Amino acid sequence: MAGNIMKADSVKIADGVYWVGVLDWDIRNYHGYTLHGTTYNAYLVFGEDEIALVDNTYPGTSAQMWARIKDACDKEARVASLDIIIENHIERDHSGALVELYRKFPEVPIYCASTAIKGLKRHYPTLGGAPFKAASTGTEITLGGKTCIFIEAPLLHWPDSMFTFVNEGGVLLSNDAFGQHVCAAGRFDTDLPEFVLTSVAQKFYANLITPLSQLVVKKMSDLQQRGLLDKIRIIAPSHGQIWTHPERIINAYSQWATGVTKYKATIVYDTMHYSTQKMAHALAEGLISEGVDVVMYFLHADERSEIVKDILDSKLVLFGSPTMHNEPFPSMGDIMYYLRGLRFDKTGKKKLAVTFGSKGWGGGATRKLAETLSACGFDVLQELEVSYVPSDNDLAQCYDWGRQLASKMRE
């Protein structure tokens, strides 16, 4: 097969199903989401008669995928060729090699959701004459002893998103859903410490899935009603680790999607002359004294995609800012705009929120932050302001506020 300019191994994930994806060790920012590498997972499904490739990779990274496809075909003693291409999702990190695939295999059908066909042609005009086949929920294709069942998953997370279920072996190829942006040497959930895996999966959910939480609940119910949920043995997403214990991520999604939180508070602040910072630290001490798990983000350095990971399972969020030109500090604007889009209240539960900050003369930042947070679906409890540099009494008051908020979190 042309394009084999490197050597790379495939990984067998089930009988006749291989990971043939790409390790991107180097990516640090993906449309504003900070990460330390990711993977573009593609899968090769071997039937007795036909071979299907499910998803592909980011533009310009296909050499790894081709090498792994060749390796998988060698392991299965099959000629390195494809009979079916499946595209679970338009976005470029999963379709970036589709033009290359079409050029190599112009007669091979490309199965995708009907809404994906138009989008793929818009992304890649040279696919105008490609042999697309619209797949809808319940459509099955047999490869000979292997059956792929398509399940549309609209808006999880794009309108065209789709799952492919390999019936024999119970492998759910879920595309972005259940994914994580992480790049590790091992391919499986068991290859990462639990804390690390939960953290990257939670960050992925918070940033990409949060506003779609109601659809997650519906899709879980849909899978259950179709009798598929209990048949899933492996969930193989298009990014990150493959779930060999799928109940771990299914349970986590069930909790995140319904707004289950911990006794946890996330504090996000910026500061001009370290007065608001002092308030943040004093509030944290009060919360901690009551047993609240506190996470602190300082906007001099921290950024939104990491912050929302912790907001996801926090019961309380605290936003602190001094007033500058009658407005909150400019750095607050980035996270506020982001929260407006994420809509954590789509889980059906409102998170508690507090604003705080130091003012010089007019003040107003805490009020404006409170208004914005209310508009974003938070239940704003209090606005806490001090003048200029907080006194010892002010900091004692912040500590007490922290303790009172901890009590409120228990209600």
408's enclosing H/E stretch is helix 392-410
Residues 6+ apart with CB under 8 A from 343: 210, 211, 376, 377
Closest CA to 265 of 278, 279, 280: 280
Residue 38 or 261: which CB sits closer to ligand FEO?
A: 38
The yes or no reply on residue 310 touching ligand FEO (CB under 6 A) is: no
The yes or no reply on residue 203 touching ligand FEO (CB under 6 A) is: no
CB of 311 to ligand FEO, least distance (A): 21
Candidate residues 55, 71, 87, 91; the one interacting with ligand FEO per rule CB under 6 A: 91
Residue 212 or 405: which CB sits closer to ligand FEO?
A: 212
Query: Cβ–Cβ contacts within 10 Å for residue 21, how many?
Result: 28
Under 8 Å between Cβ of 57 and 40: yes
* Residue whose tokens read 């954590």: 344
CA 107 from centre of chain: 34
CB of 85 to ligand FEO, least distance (A): 17
Q: Among the candidate windows 63-71, 89-97, 110-118, 323-331, which touches ligand FEO by CB under 6 A?
A: 89-97
Residue 18 or 158: which CB sits closer to ligand FEO?
A: 158
The yes or no reply on residue 176 touching ligand FEO (CB under 6 A) is: yes
Residue 71 or 91: which CB sits closer to ligand FEO?
A: 91
The mark string for 153-172 relative to ligand FEO (x by CB under 6 A, - otherwise) is: ----xx--------------
Q: How many residues bind to ligand FEO according to rule CB under 6 A?
A: 9
Residues 6+ apart with CB under 8 A from 269: 276, 277, 279, 280, 296, 297, 298, 299, 318, 319, 320, 321, 356, 357
The yes or no reply on residue 181 touching ligand FEO (CB under 6 A) is: no
The yes or no reply on residue 89 touching ligand FEO (CB under 6 A) is: yes
Closest CA to 78 of 10, 174, 171: 10
The yes or no reply on residue 93 touching ligand FEO (CB under 6 A) is: yes
The mark string for 234-253 relative to ligand FEO (x by CB under 6 A, - otherwise) is: ----xx--------------
Query: 411: burial class by Cβ within 10 Å (0-12, 13-18, 19+)?
Result: exposed
Residue 249 or 316: which CB sits closer to ligand FEO?
A: 249
Residue nearest to ligand FEO (CB): 91
264's enclosing H/E stretch is strand 262-269
Token output for 218: 């519906």
Question: Residue 398 — φ and ψ, nearest 5°?
Answer: -60, -45
The full 3-state SS of 113-176, as one line of letters, equals: EHHHHHHHHHHCHHHCCCCEEEECCCCEEECCCCEEEEEECCCCCCCCCEEEEECCCCEEEEEC
Residue 41 or 277: which CB sits closer to ligand FEO?
A: 41
CB of 147 to ligand FEO, least distance (A): 25
The mark string for 209-238 relative to ligand FEO (x by CB under 6 A, - otherwise) is: -----------------------------x
The yes or no reply on residue 152 touching ligand FEO (CB under 6 A) is: no
Q: Among the candidate windows 13-21, 86-94, 304-312, 400-408, which touches ligand FEO by CB under 6 A?
A: 86-94
Residue 348 to residue 261: CA distance in whole angstroms? 12
Residues that bind ligand FEO (CB under 6 A): 89, 91, 93-94, 157-158, 176, 238-239
